[in-house]
Amino acid sequence: MALGWLHWLPRLLVLGLVLALPRATTGEQAPGAWRHKTTAFAGSAGNIQVLGASKRSGSRARPVSGRLRHTGSTLGLVVPEMERATPLAVPLGQAEVFQALQRLHMTIFSQSVSPCGKFLAAGNNYGQIAIFSLSAALSSEAKEESKKPVVTFQAHDGPVYSMVSTDRQLLSAGDGEVKAWLWAEILKKGCKEMWRRQPPYRTSLEVPEINALLLVPKENSLILAGGDCQLHTMDLETGTFTRALRGHTDYIHCLALRERSPEVLSGSEDGAVRLWDLRTAKEAQIIEVYKHEECSRPHNGRWIGCLATDADWMVCGGGPALTLWHLRSSTPTTIFPMRAPQKHVTFYQDLILSAGQGHCINHWQLSGELKAQVPGSSPGLLSLSLNQQPAAPECKVLTAAGNSCRVDVFTNLGYRAFSLSF
């Protein structure tokens, strides 16, 4: 019953825990809407047990263990500000000033968790990839050094916009090329690339960037999308580019894979979300989000910055408001009232987590209610990563990165535990 990943929480904290129920637990919701109730109590043995009464079809309350549970935004925990930057008294020389400026202007675009679940790779705008040890940072004897990268290496010339991990490799992409690194070697600090591939681009003055990588495990292939408005499919076995899916009129921001059918969603700067059937390599559906009045926001532009899908549902945001769509009927179901453009969105259990401009991670009920806003340390967030590797249940955390050199770590969805830093 014990939540393994919460073991590190000091017992004192647990004993002093005051838990409040989430606000959105009223029973007067429309039928079909998910109701969600969370009760948590502090056990005397120092564990937290979470009972989730998930009422989709009137099932009995059952204890949910080992799952990342939201315990309410008004959690009565007082967490000290750990990484508050204190002004340095030491005057700096040229190299130090340059380093400080570089850190100050760093943006972390992408994150990826290692297959073992204990390490997190983060790629920044200088083309560097840093590997953090989550297990060391989360252990009870974590020091300041364990929140620094285990290893940092120069991966690309330009920014590292996207990274994914296969069961052996870390794939990173940014400036038109995708590169593969062996996780085992990275951890041994031998950072030599295994291979690099460039999709067949039409000649241009500027090499188009790659904004999104997507693994299709069933086909053992990788989909790349970015600056040249196409989706390129690469066979991971042979390393050849098999298909190019054309249709977008501007560059592609994001990709999402539908779990059951081999379909891929892509969101683009042109304001459209396109649904591709991988079997026929054809476009199956177009949703032009900006054309729907309820979610269009012309002053922000049309672009679709983030995309996530779950069964028949799709959530996308960007210039237009963050909107939940029902794919089969292609109608917007819920429009989330968030002014700032969102840069990353993901389904998590019965919640939608989104982040973008502003330093908060937004937790949404599917009904469109804002359940919580959890502040992070960066002024703007670009990527969220949920470490759900079954190999390392103790490292099950949410990490968020964006316009700073810090990667915020949330051991509990309710508050930022600490930050990893470049």
Partner 1 sequence: MSSESSKKRKPKVIRSDGAPAEGKRNRSDMEQEGKYYSEEAEVDLRDPGRDYELYKYTCQELQRLMAEIQDLKSRGGKDVAIEIEERRIQSCVHFMTLKKLNRLAHIRLKKGRDQTHEAKQKVDAYHLQLQNLLYEVMHLQKEITKCLEFKSKHEEIDLVSLEEFYKEAPPDISKAEVTMGDPHQQTLARLDWELEQRKRLAEKYRECLSNKEKILKEIEVKKEYLSSLQPRLNSIMQASLPVQEYLFMPFDQAHKQYETARHLPPPLYVLFVQATAYGQACDKTLSVAIEGSVDEAKALFKPPDDSQDDESDSDAEEEQTTKRRRPTLGVQLDDKRKEMLKRHPLSVMVDLKCKDDSMLHLTFYYLMNLNILTVKAKVTTAMELITPISAGDLLSPDSVLSCLYPGDHGKKTPNPANQYQFDKVGILTLRDYVIDLGHPYLWVQKLGGLHFPKEQPQHTVIADHSLSASHMETTMKLLKTRVQSRLALHKQFASLEHGIVPITSDCQYLFPAKVVSRLVKWVTIAHEDYMELHFTKDIVEAGLAGDTNLYYMALIERGTAKLQAAVVVNPGYSSIPPIFQLCLNWKGEKTNSNDDNIRAMESEVNVCYKELCGPRPSHQLLTNQLQRLCVLLDVYLETESHDDSVEGPKEFPQEKMCLRLFRGPSRMKPFKYNHPQGFFSHR
Binds partner 1 (CB under 8 A): choice among 129, 382, 384, 400? 382
Tell me if 91 contacts partner 1 by CB under 8 A: yes
Q: Assess contact for 233 and 223: CB atoms under 8 A.
A: yes
Binds partner 1 (CB under 8 A): choice among 4, 43, 127, 158? 158
Binds partner 1 (CB under 8 A): choice among 47, 73, 111, 211? 211
Q: Assess contact for 269 and 250: CB atoms under 8 A.
A: yes
Shortest approach of partner 1 to residue 118 CB, angstroms? 26
* Cα gap 259→257, rounded to integer Å: 6
Shortest approach of partner 1 to residue 133 CB, angstroms? 25
Q: Which is nearer to partner 1, 102 or 330 (CB)?
A: 102
Q: Assess contact for 229 and 245: CB atoms under 8 A.
A: no
Tell me if 59 contacts partner 1 by CB under 8 A: no
Distances (CA, A) of 422 to 96, 106, 148, 328: 15, 9, 6, 43
Binds partner 1 (CB under 8 A): choice among 12, 18, 30, 85? 85
Binds partner 1 (CB under 8 A): choice among 70, 147, 253, 416? 253
* Cα gap 105→91, rounded to integer Å: 20
Shortest approach of partner 1 to residue 74 CB, angstroms? 26
* Cα gap 347→332, rounded to integer Å: 16
Q: Assess contact for 253 and 383: CB atoms under 8 A.
A: no
Q: How many residues bind partner 1 (CB under 8 A)?
A: 46
φ/ψ of residue 255, rounded to 5 = -130, 155
Tell me if 209 contacts partner 1 by CB under 8 A: yes
Q: What mask of x and - would describe binding to partner 1 in positions 326 to 345, judged by CB under 8 A?
A: -----------------x--
Q: Which is nearer to partner 1, 344 or 371 (CB)?
A: 344
Q: How many CA atoms lie within 13 A of 321 on its CB side?
A: 18
Piece in contact with partner 1 (CB under 8 A), picked from 19-27, 190-198, 296-304, 327-335: 296-304
SS3 call for 264 = strand
Tell me if 357 contacts partner 1 by CB under 8 A: yes
Tell me if 107 contacts partner 1 by CB under 8 A: yes
Tell me if 301 contacts partner 1 by CB under 8 A: yes
Candidates 341, 402, 409, 313; CA nearest to 124 is 402
DSSP β-ladder status, 35-42 and 351-356: unpaired
Q: What mask of x and - would describe binding to partner 1 in positions 160 to 179, judged by CB under 8 A?
A: -x------------------
Q: Which is nearer to partner 1, 55 or 148 (CB)?
A: 148
Largest CA distance in the chain: 66
Piece in contact with partner 1 (CB under 8 A), picked from 26-34, 301-309, 364-372, 391-399: 301-309
Place of tokens 């263990």: 65
SS3 call for 213 = strand
Piece in contact with partner 1 (CB under 8 A), picked from 73-81, 201-209, 233-241, 413-421: 201-209
Binds partner 1 (CB under 8 A): choice among 385, 403, 419, 421? 403
Sheet of 62-63, strand order: 35-42, 48-55, 62-63
* Cα gap 411→40, rounded to integer Å: 16
Q: Which is nearer to partner 1, 125 or 166 (CB)?
A: 125
Token code pair at residue 196: 């690099």
Q: Alpha helix (H) ranges present in 260-337?
A: none
Q: Assess contact for 172 and 155: CB atoms under 8 A.
A: yes
Tell me if 358 contacts partner 1 by CB under 8 A: yes
Tell me if 269 contacts partner 1 by CB under 8 A: yes
Q: Assess contact for 414 and 48: CB atoms under 8 A.
A: no
* CB neighbour list of residue 18: distance below 8 Å, 6 or more residues apart: 76
Tell me if 232 contacts partner 1 by CB under 8 A: no
- The single-letter DSSP state of residue 199 is -
Tell me if 376 contacts partner 1 by CB under 8 A: no
Binds partner 1 (CB under 8 A): choice among 251, 325, 347, 418? 251
Residues that bind partner 1 (CB under 8 A): 85-94, 96-98, 100-105, 107, 109, 158-159, 161, 204-206, 209, 211, 227, 251, 253-254, 269, 298-299, 301, 303, 305, 343, 357-358, 379-380, 382, 403
